[in-house]
Chains A and B, each alone.
Chain A
């Protein structure tokens, strides 16, 4: 019951007027970020991170995490009204949300989407509240080998679970590791991979990479496609909301299933996007009116939104308890922790109780605030999308430049951002996943440190990663995840040959 007391203490922290104000600001900014093309959760948070350097860490994380929730909510607005997914995880929402809007039921679709998002997030936060302290307590016993095994598992899951070709995932991920290695080696203090360039002494900052890859890259992709809005009008009134709310409980089974899919995909770093697709696909197969999916079925909005939000939220569980972020945005938040002088990982639950529980409490409140904000302000947010791209695009580019500059007060970083942007555009067009690249830049140093420390303990024998039950289990899970698609293929081939 100590957790409950901690949680209440957390609520006391989160309910301070200053923090509530930051929460509302964060949610509003987040929805705007989610609505605008080219500004996503990850790089939106990255751009705004420098603004929080002078804040107390708890207030800072509350604001930044609320931006994240806001972005998750915001993606649905553009999907339903304009058939333009503001975020990759809301692509699946367009399948049924946009037809609903066209049939004159935008209010119903939006209410269903927002409410499902809230339900998914709530489910994930409750899970975090219950599970995170246990995981963290367990992880306190981890040595370097176990730590490396956890990183290994996280990165292998990317290879096994992502829909991109495995070797492209591996290539992108390893490029991230290589970029992380540039500069001062933290163990020996030796310089490496700098090739005499002084700007590279401190290595590549992943914030620059995030802003470039996700921000600039996305703008370039949008430029290529050319934007033409054919959007419907948005209006939600209380009657529609209440009427939709009366309908929703009938779909509790879909909700629960989507919550579970979302949490699973969020904790393993597959992320919100595959979770939303998977949940939509399963709902389509199992629903009684499955044949109607794609023609404006409310269940087709509930399933992906619930899963995406559950996944986005539960991505913070491994970040808080293990120091392994489950999504690019969680990775940016983790980078924030380091900048504010906090050491992510299980020790947070021991040393920074106020921070951790303040954050967890703010997740409950932030999502509730988010639900209220989006339900009441949809027309305003939809109006933002009517501002033509010719005005929005240069402003976003300037914002990205400001964000990149203020990370280290360096104009070299701004140029680097552009390079990452062009690279992100090309990689994305060629189907290389960007999330593992970014996560590898964030975790590269830590993974390497754990790896080398374990080898140091074992005099260079790789047997240390299979030296006890715990580490062997995690490593074995990692290997299963790594070879997941061949395993699956072999299994189905076996079944057909037996049948």
Chain B
């Protein structure tokens, strides 16, 4: 029983991070129909910038409290990632907005390589130790279930950010403009919506979420390096598709479901297949679920918009 609950918590923690990243994919897709493959690498830039800031702060002000240091690191990492998100859209994707669909897709893959290579030049190939400023010492176990403060922060912060984003999209003026642009950006621009600004705003918000996710991810595992964005990026993309790409609620649900499936998959796949499959198939398990969902519900768990978009 305690193993079951522990796996549930493992799944929730990693699922929350996936959900945050998936939101960035799904917002951009909803508005532009573009899959921004460089999104995972924005996460990496966020984490490494935060790391650099912390190193600097530890050098100049060694006695600073961990919370203040983490806050400052985030305050630096978020704008840097936002700038990268903005530049990516402005310099690469905007020029290709009316190009065939494949062109921006390939450009996004190119962007991903570009960011990784730049990060490799700046930060080197080695794995870096990421300071774990929020304690990773487990709290007093409840019924044999362990959870660390950093994991609690990840779950709570993700939930808060997701609620905030939902309010932004449904309750504010810019949110209404985003929804209008997603519906049909030509008509929206005829109605007086500055669609270029809306699209840029979407990229910037997505990048900020990625930066937060990157810092959370690195804080939880205690490491960061130039290729760290690739796997979570891919998983989050899967989560976005699972939940129904283009749909905010779908991305959140997809992220959590994927995290749980992975965790339970690794934990129980051996029992379920009577020892035929083992934990080296944990990734395959997640993709089998994805395949099944797409066969029976091609638009994903909550998606409706995909069919008329694609």
- Indicate whether A and B interact: no
Query: Which residues of B are in contact with A by a Cβ distance under 8 Å?
Result: none
